[in-house]
Amino acid sequence: TFRYKSTVKILPPSLRQKKGQRWTTFTPPAAGSSRRYRGRLSHRRSHQAFVELKTDAPDIAVAIGITHDIANDVRRYVEDELPSVGRLLVLRPSTGSSSQAVVAGRHAFDLAQSAKELIRSAIGGQSPEMIAHVFVAAPNALTFFLGQQSPVLGCVRLYEFDFEGGRDRSYRASLTLPVST
């Protein structure tokens, strides 16, 4: 039996984070080490972090492509369907999008923390009415941890992709935070 405050290490020794080792996340690929856990996230690999779409539009779109590279699909959707979005921030692993990009739960948490900080810095001194339109292709744990950080981001609208093709195999707004009552 487990005691109330007992802990159990469930990762094999080869996957445990070593003392002093950090899974830094949204750093440029050049800062990555040769360690196994270098699945870091960066702004676009050799491009700018932001894609300027319209200078007079206040909102920002964020494409977080961990398991799939969604940057082009998100840009196309934003340009066609979201006239209020002026900038696109693209975040993806420096090692490339894949189902193996997130190593463990702690790694997912670190990625979510870094994503929150980058989104906050991108929002900067924007008006309180601004909406951050967030598109995510990532493991559920990362999305959960990012959701925990949403209060500091202001108004966030999440989008989901129609994988089954029941509608038009495109994005749909799924949830806006904070939820108004």
| pLDDT digits 0-9 by tens, 36-69 | 444 445 443 323 367 888 888 999 999 999 998 8
Angle, in degrees to the nearest 10, between helices 140-148 and 105-123? 50
User: What is the model's pTM?
Assistant: 0.73
For the stretch 163-176, pLDDT in tens is 776 677 789 999 89
Residue 1 has pLDDT above 80, yes or no: no
Tell me the average pLDDT of the chain. Answer: 77
- For the segment 128-143, the average pLDDT, to the nearest whole number, is 91
Residue 124 has pLDDT above 70, yes or no: yes
Give the pLDDT band of residue 7 (cuts 50, 70, 90): low
User: Could you tell me how far CA 94 lies from the centroid of its own chain?
Assistant: 13
Pairwise CA distance, residues 108 & 148, whole Å: 12
Specify burial of residue 90 (Cβ count, 10 A radius: 0-12, 13-18, 19+).
Answer: buried
- For the segment 129-157, the average pLDDT, to the nearest whole number, is 91
Residue 21 has pLDDT above 60, yes or no: no
- Give the per-residue pLDDT at 121: 87
Contact 67, 41 (CB under 8 A): no
